[in-house]
């Protein structure tokens, strides 16, 4: 985005990323039942938090979004966490 004063750049906000990652680690990670489950966090200086990853239950992803929205400094949460159906039969 260009502004009158020049180029306005969006940069990573490591302190917000760390805070969000800590909340996810404490509140969500203990609910993981599979070794491949994770939620990755990225945050920028605009208060945008991007979540992506893989979990076994869509409610975990929704809970993560709700928790992140409550963190001061977060303006937007983008949820790109996928749900994998563990143990589901696949019909061919």
Residues 46 and 52: their CA atoms lie apart, in Å, by 18
On whether the 10-83 domain is CATH 3.30.160, my answer is no
Confidence of residue 1 (pLDDT cuts 50, 70, 90): very low
Q: Which of 33-37, 51-55, 72-76 has the lowest mean pLDDT?
A: 33-37
pLDDT at residue 90 in the model:
58
Average pLDDT (10-19) is: 92
Q: What are the residue boundaries of the structural domains of the chain, listed by start?
A: 10-83
What SS3 state is found at 2? strand
CB 46 within 8 A of CB 75: yes
Q: What is the pTM of this model?
A: 0.81
> Does the pLDDT value for residue 48 go beyond 70?
yes
């Amino acid at each position: 985005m260009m502004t009158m004063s020049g180029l306005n750049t969006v940069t990573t906000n490591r302190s917000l990323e760390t805070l969000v990652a800590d909340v996810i680690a404490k509140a969500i990670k203990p609910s993981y039942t599979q070794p491949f489950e994770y939620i990755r966090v990225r945050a920028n200086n605009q208060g945008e938090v991007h979540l992506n990853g893989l979990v076994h239950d869509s409610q975990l992803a929704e809970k993560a979004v709700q928790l992140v929205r409550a963190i001061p400094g977060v303006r937007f949460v983008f949820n790109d966490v996928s749900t994998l159906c563990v143990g589901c039969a696949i019909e061919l």
